A and B are shown apart, each in its own frame.
Chain A
Amino acid sequence: MFKKILIANRGEIACRIIKTARRMGIATVAVYSDADARAPFVQMADEAVHIGPSPAAQSYLIADKIIAACKATGAEAVHPGYGFLSERTSFAEALAKENIAFIGPPVNAIAAMGDKIESKKLAMKAGVNVVPGFVGEIDNTEHAVRISEEIGYPVMMKASAGGGGKGMRLAYNEQDVREGFEATKREGLNSFGDDRVFIEKFILNPRHIEIQILGDQHGNILYLNERECSIQRRHQKVVEEAPSPFVTPKMRKAMGEQCVALSRAVGYYSAGTVELIVSGADPSGESFYFLEMNTRLQVEHPVTECITGIDLVEQMIRVAAGEKLAMTQDDIKIDGWSIENRVYAEDPYRGFLPSTGRLTRYRPPVAGWTEDEDANGRRGVEGVRVDDGVYDGGEVSMFYDPMIAKLITWGKTRDEAADLQIAALDRFEIEGLGHNIDFVSAIMQHPRFRSGELTTGFIAEEYPDGFHGAASTPDLVKSLAAIAGFVATAEADRARHVDGQLGDTLEPPARWQVKIADAVHDIEMVDGDMHVDGEHFDLSMEYDPGDRLIEAEVGDEELAVKIAKMRTGFKLTTRGATHIARVLPGHIAHLADHMIEKIAPDLSRFLICPMPGLLTTLHVNAGDAVEAGQPLAVVEAMKMENILRAEKSGTVKIVNAKAGDSLAVDAVILEME
């Protein structure tokens, strides 16, 4: 076994690998860029080597620097994590040349599977179903249009070397192809150094189901069941679970065996994932097609660990060291259900725009990387596992993927795992930047998610007009009103304990009117007993002024609520939505009727920069007439090109910025007449 390994990655996955290596008694070396100098994975590792400036292209993507770090520290093997160099044959080859082990699959397998066109040919040869498409080089946009028409719309354009949702574009018609083909090429070139693009038929109502493969260097290859990752936003996975609610034992076996056969065809070992596209419309479960094989550890590997009890990182290290798998296919079982939500630094209330910056407050529901120490695939504490790479006061850097943490839950049933997610998300405190906690909580509560009727179109179909908070019930609003009344009473009580009073300490006001959206409730505390609208209300909670997270019991149900003070009430966040509770003392509440509701100014006239970033393109000049939906500008942030479109038709009045400007959030780029 290795004595020391180097992790050629950052963030949570670096922490993840260090965690297992340490348990196995292997010393670890971290490599880090300028931006990560203070990151937890650097602290966690036994040694750390600085490898350059913040942009990945100048640090994490430079193989020579990684190899130099190995030599300097005497690391015998490299775990590449996911992304970065994990699927670059040149890197694996360079390591081999230096006699450093690569904790991953053989080079030829990476080469065969890393190229989407090659892998598709291979899969066909191995007798695996593939989605109709054009396998070959595409010359130019005209060619792309011709191919797309032959296959029939809708089609998907993909950067050949792409992955993780980057460099993919859907085209419903010729215009989409014309608009997107060059951009796809460009993204492929920028992100992966390869501008080849391929086009295939897009299957409507598809489910994304993938098979986890694990093989050793002695010819043993197993499948560790499936994961379903159908809940995606713009092809970026958001929710993953294992097993899949769609897969039957028979289907699992069929999919697993095919994927093993494919792996065997390329002499695969280590962990890998075969992604399949499955038609949910075919209940027989026979309509699954090979999509691609990821020759690395997946972001969503924890859900497989939770249901199989197998530590995938450990297995990868053992396999790389030449060990034989200590298990057979018969040993692979499914125990319970596991769900992972990716907590991203992107704001669902603002069109999911990336939101980088400082985490002024970061309190996960259980501390990251704590577990119950059972050999159960790391199910965390009481079924809640947090894999993270950030900390209170840390930063989500604009240079890398905006993932803050992975929240993984394990339960005996799917509902149990989903309920645990909701409870854990309610207790997940993140401040300082926008995040998607409300959004993933809303998905966990969504009846369609609960029914298991998933497709990759779930988010687009269920949230066609964007996300505005999870739906709430009158009962929930009533509970929140009671909690707001309780907190108001406690705050008023404390305020009445100030010194220098005229007489005896006064009784605090105990009557409140709480208004949440259109619901109005009268709250009264009588000798510590809560009354809502004149009736006893079963609420049990504690509150000290300054508390930010309230643990309440309403009846026999637990409710965790994040609370922030406002001038005339509180902001209450729970169950996937934030509620503004206006709280007024009962005796003056009637005066609120005279207040004039203010209408927010119409900002649709302005094109506002939605996030800090670089204005790369400005499509219009002052005086130009524009149509609603027309692209006006492109702002690049987090390596993503964000197209800003006209909200309504009109004429451009003033342009305040030019291409090349670095813009702050809310900067006005242009004004319309």
Chain B
Amino acid sequence: MSANIAELELRRAASKLGGGQKRIDAQHAKGRLTARERLDILLDEGSFEELDAYVTHNCTDFGMAEQKIPGDGVVTGSGTINGRLVYVYSQDFTVFGGSLSEAHAMKICKVLDNAMKVGAPVIGLNDSGGARIQEGVASLGGYAEVFQRNTLASGVIPQISLIMGPCAGGAVYSPAITDFIFMVKDSSYMFVTGPDVVKTVTNEVVTQEELGGAVSHTTKSGVADNAFENDIEALLSVRDFFDYLPENNRTGVPERPTEDAWDRIEPSLDTLIPPSANQPYDMHELIRKTVDEGDFFEVQPTHAANVIIGFGRIEGRTVGIVANQPMVLAGVLDINSSKKAARFVRFCDAFDIPIITFVDVPGFLPGTAQEYGGIIKHGAKLLFAYAEATVPKITIITRKAYGGAYDVMASKHLRGDLNYAWPTAEIAVMGAKGAVEIIFRGLSAEEQAVKTAEYEDRFANPFVAASKGFIDEVIYPHSTRKRIALGLRKLRNKALENPWKKHDNIPL
């Protein structure tokens, strides 16, 4: 072997070792894998091609000149997931605690630049103690360089962040800009300021886990989209998730073979809606029985569960699903559910993913908490998102579609392409009892009951809306999948453009 090749091998080996065996063991002891092990799980076997393995920092302060480790705390490059190209970076906690130096940041920027050039998604595995303090402002500049690229890439290529260790301070804003954030339970946390600072400033005592753990962010804040049990489950799940996403905003959704018949009939759906209007049912059942093979990747399942969002496939092609969930708060729209669904609708629209909306919504949640919290603006986000979306939009009203919430949930008026209703649908300005109280004031209880029954007869069905063309057809519940599949085939070449603008001004 020539000396040059020996040198290459030596350097590669040095780079691969990261922070050394002792630090690797410490990482393992915490139940966490190393940056490279994580990539081994995420990517197809042997597909990872590394970039910048020999990059080191150029800091000389505080004795850093003597401490250089090739790679500088982040492993970057590209590979494939089920054969499809993806760019990746994986922060290496064994090297300077994964802290972000200028050089470290530039490696991430190179990955983002390359991905943007070729139109491939980026997956970032975050495990970093934060800024490289020794570098000071250079590190801050590095963060901002990443933020800028994340922002420009937004809506062009899918960006996914996995939080697999600490992610604090400025570091949180890169994942925050990306499309999806996944976390690992009991081993990852995200916050702008940690418990110590919180204690000093506000006197509030809180643990890392409570403040910014996976459970907090996937239930309370909604910052993260899903929480997984451990590194392996998280990475394998992201592989599954990646399979739904298009490579970029021009390629359209991926397609894969399925044996699930497009016209599969589901007789059990004919009895999904309970006989009593006040009885809830699980909207997940309808979703699972509609999509291919019952496979539904739910996003944010534990946050604002009154609306369900996630990806499925019809005839092997990805669709985005938005659905009210009668099991939680009767499926009402509130601040959190509006924000959750709005961002998802915009993701789907940006990446050419058709949107299927299942509607059973009694309206918007009333109350001071909601009004003071700005439900007007937040509800408007969802309205805006649906109204601006130009992808194929198919809407199925299963039961209630009341008031403004009817308009919001991908109604015909918001350029819904196919708006179907089940025979159990009730499309009305409000529930019968409330309506009667307003139309006929001062009636006796008996008179009110009579009028309520009249109002129900008139509006507690889909046919008034259908007579105005707001509903294209009233369909059998059992044929829902078939109708959607057929609709999507017909809408495959849908062309619709919004007027030119620099960008819109969504009510943020």
B204 at the interface (CB under 8 A from A): no
Check B229 against A598 for contact (C-beta < 8 Å). Answer: yes
Given contacts A360-B268, A392-B268, A499-B256, is CB(A588)–CB(B232) below 8 Å?
A: yes
Which stretch in A76-84, A213-221, A501-509 binds the other chain? Answer: A501-509
B82 at the interface (CB under 8 A from A): yes
Return the chain B residue nearest A565 by Cβ.
B295
A361 at the interface (CB under 8 A from B): yes
1/0 per position for B4-33, CB-CB distance to A under 8 A? 000000000000000000000000100111
* Least CB distance, B125 to chain A, in whole angstroms: 14
B281 — which chain A residues lie within 8 A by C-beta? Answer: 358
Given contacts A393-B272, A509-B45, A587-B45, is CB(A498)–CB(B237) below 8 Å?
A: no
A629 at the interface (CB under 8 A from B): no
Interface residues on chain A, number (Cβ under 8 Å) = 42
Given contacts A361-B268, A501-B84, is CB(A591)–CB(B232) below 8 Å?
A: yes
Check B41 against A588 for contact (C-beta < 8 Å). Answer: yes
* Least CB distance, A617 to chain B, in whole angstroms: 27
A534 at the interface (CB under 8 A from B): no
* Least CB distance, B353 to chain A, in whole angstroms: 14
* Least CB distance, A507 to chain B, in whole angstroms: 10
Return the chain A residue nearest B46 by Cβ.
A587
Of B28, B82, B247, B260, chain A has the most CB atoms within 10 Å of the CB of B82
Return the chain A residue nearest B231 by Cβ.
A595
B85 at the interface (CB under 8 A from A): yes
Q: Which of B80, B232, B247, B271 makes the CB contact (< 8 A) with A595?
A: B232
Q: Which of A501, A509, A565, A596 makes the CB contact (< 8 A) with B230?
A: A596
Check B236 against A568 for contact (C-beta < 8 Å). Answer: yes
A663 at the interface (CB under 8 A from B): no
A361 — which chain B residues lie within 8 A by C-beta? Answer: 268
Return the chain B residue nearest A492 by Cβ.
B82
Which bucket holds chain B's interface residue count? 35 or more
Q: Which of A499, A500, A546, A584 makes the CB contact (< 8 A) with B293?
A: A546
Check A505 against B83 for contact (C-beta < 8 Å). Answer: yes
Check B270 against A393 for contact (C-beta < 8 Å). Answer: yes
**Considering the chains assembled together, what is the distance between the CA atoms of A307 and B125 in angstroms?**
66
* Least CB distance, A126 to chain B, in whole angstroms: 50
Return the chain A residue nearest B255 by Cβ.
A499
Of B32, B83, B243, B259, chain A has the most CB atoms within 10 Å of the CB of B83
Return the chain A residue nearest B82 by Cβ.
A495
Q: Which of A362, A544, A567 makes the CB contact (< 8 A) with B259?
A: A544
Check B83 against A498 for contact (C-beta < 8 Å). Answer: yes
Given contacts A497-B257, A545-B259, A567-B237, is CB(A595)–CB(B267) below 8 Å?
A: no
Check B31 against A546 for contact (C-beta < 8 Å). Answer: no
A186 at the interface (CB under 8 A from B): no
Return the chain A residue nearest B30 by Cβ.
A596
Looking at chain A's contact residues, the main secondary structure is loop
A37 at the interface (CB under 8 A from B): yes
Check B40 against A545 for contact (C-beta < 8 Å). Answer: no
B456 at the interface (CB under 8 A from A): no
**Considering the chains assembled together, what is the distance between the CA atoms of A505 and B44 in angstroms?**
12
Q: Which of A393, A509, A546 makes the CB contact (< 8 A) with B294?
A: A546
- Of residues 94 through 138 on chain B, the ones whose CB sits less than 8 Å from some CB of chain A are none
Check B232 against A501 for contact (C-beta < 8 Å). Answer: no
* Least CB distance, A508 to chain B, in whole angstroms: 9
A592 at the interface (CB under 8 A from B): yes
* Least CB distance, B236 to chain A, in whole angstroms: 6
Return the chain B residue nearest A358 by Cβ.
B281
A502 — which chain B residues lie within 8 A by C-beta? Answer: 80, 83-85
B437 at the interface (CB under 8 A from A): no
B285 at the interface (CB under 8 A from A): yes
1/0 per position for A352-382, CB-CB distance to B under 8 A? 0000001111100000000000000000000
**Considering the chains assembled together, what is the distance between the CA atoms of A594 and B228 in angstroms?**
16
Check B83 against A496 for contact (C-beta < 8 Å). Answer: yes
B243 — which chain A residues lie within 8 A by C-beta? Answer: 495, 498
B271 — which chain A residues lie within 8 A by C-beta? Answer: 38, 358, 393-395
B256 — which chain A residues lie within 8 A by C-beta? Answer: 494-495, 497-499
Q: Which of A500, A506, A544, A585 makes the CB contact (< 8 A) with B254?
A: A500
**Considering the chains assembled together, what is the distance between the CA atoms of A546 and B292 in angstroms?**
8
**Considering the chains assembled together, what is the distance between the CA atoms of A598 and B232 in angstroms?**
14
Given contacts A37-B275, A544-B259, is CB(A594)–CB(B45) below 8 Å?
A: no
**Considering the chains assembled together, what is the distance between the CA atoms of A549 and B293 in angstroms?**
13
B269 — which chain A residues lie within 8 A by C-beta? Answer: 393
* Least CB distance, A587 to chain B, in whole angstroms: 5
Q: Which of A34, A393, A495 makes the CB contact (< 8 A) with B267?
A: A393
Check A591 against B268 for contact (C-beta < 8 Å). Answer: no
Check A587 against B40 for contact (C-beta < 8 Å). Answer: yes
* Least CB distance, B296 to chain A, in whole angstroms: 11
A38 — which chain B residues lie within 8 A by C-beta? Answer: 271, 275
* Least CB distance, B47 to chain A, in whole angstroms: 8
Return the chain B residue nearest A590 by Cβ.
B37
Of B258, B281, B292, chain A has the most CB atoms within 10 Å of the CB of B258
* Least CB distance, A253 to chain B, in whole angstroms: 50
A591 — which chain B residues lie within 8 A by C-beta? Answer: 33, 37, 40-41, 231-232
Return the chain B residue nearest A548 by Cβ.
B294
Of B251, B269, B275, chain A has the most CB atoms within 10 Å of the CB of B275
B40 — which chain A residues lie within 8 A by C-beta? Answer: 587-588, 591
Check A584 against B254 for contact (C-beta < 8 Å). Answer: no
Return the chain A residue nearest B83 by Cβ.
A501
1/0 per position for B200-235, CB-CB distance to A under 8 A? 000000000000000000000000000011111100
**Considering the chains assembled together, what is the distance between the CA atoms of A358 and B84 in angstroms?**
41
B179 at the interface (CB under 8 A from A): no
Q: Which of B32, B254, B268 makes the CB contact (< 8 A) with A393?
A: B268
**Considering the chains assembled together, what is the distance between the CA atoms of A595 and B270 in angstroms?**
44
**Considering the chains assembled together, what is the distance between the CA atoms of A588 and B39 in angstroms?**
10
Check A598 against B186 for contact (C-beta < 8 Å). Answer: yes
**Considering the chains assembled together, what is the distance between the CA atoms of A598 and B293 in angstroms?**
31
**Considering the chains assembled together, what is the distance between the CA atoms of A360 and B257 in angstroms?**
26
B255 — which chain A residues lie within 8 A by C-beta? Answer: 498-499
A588 — which chain B residues lie within 8 A by C-beta? Answer: 37, 40-41, 232
Check B229 against A585 for contact (C-beta < 8 Å). Answer: no
A495 — which chain B residues lie within 8 A by C-beta? Answer: 82, 243, 256
**Considering the chains assembled together, what is the distance between the CA atoms of A500 and B240 in angstroms?**
16
Check B293 against A567 for contact (C-beta < 8 Å). Answer: no
Q: Which of A395, A494, A567, A596 makes the CB contact (< 8 A) with B228?
A: A567
Return the chain B residue nearest A361 by Cβ.
B268
Return the chain A residue nearest B186 by Cβ.
A598
Of A358, A359, A362, chain B has the most CB atoms within 10 Å of the CB of A358
**Considering the chains assembled together, what is the distance between the CA atoms of A116 and B294 in angstroms?**
53
- Of residues 310 through 356 on chain A, the ones whose CB sits less than 8 Å from some CB of chain B are none
Could you list 28 A-B pairs, sorted by A, with CB under 8 Å? A38-B271, A358-B271, A391-B268, A392-B267, A393-B267, A393-B272, A394-B271, A494-B257, A498-B243, A499-B254, A500-B251, A501-B84, A505-B83, A506-B82, A544-B259, A545-B258, A546-B259, A567-B233, A567-B236, A567-B237, A588-B40, A588-B41, A591-B33, A591-B40, A592-B232, A594-B28, A596-B31, A596-B186
Given contacts A393-B268, A595-B231, 12 further A-B contacts (CB under 8 A): A393-B267, A393-B271, A498-B84, A498-B256, A505-B83, A506-B83, A546-B258, A588-B37, A588-B40, A591-B232, A592-B232, A595-B31
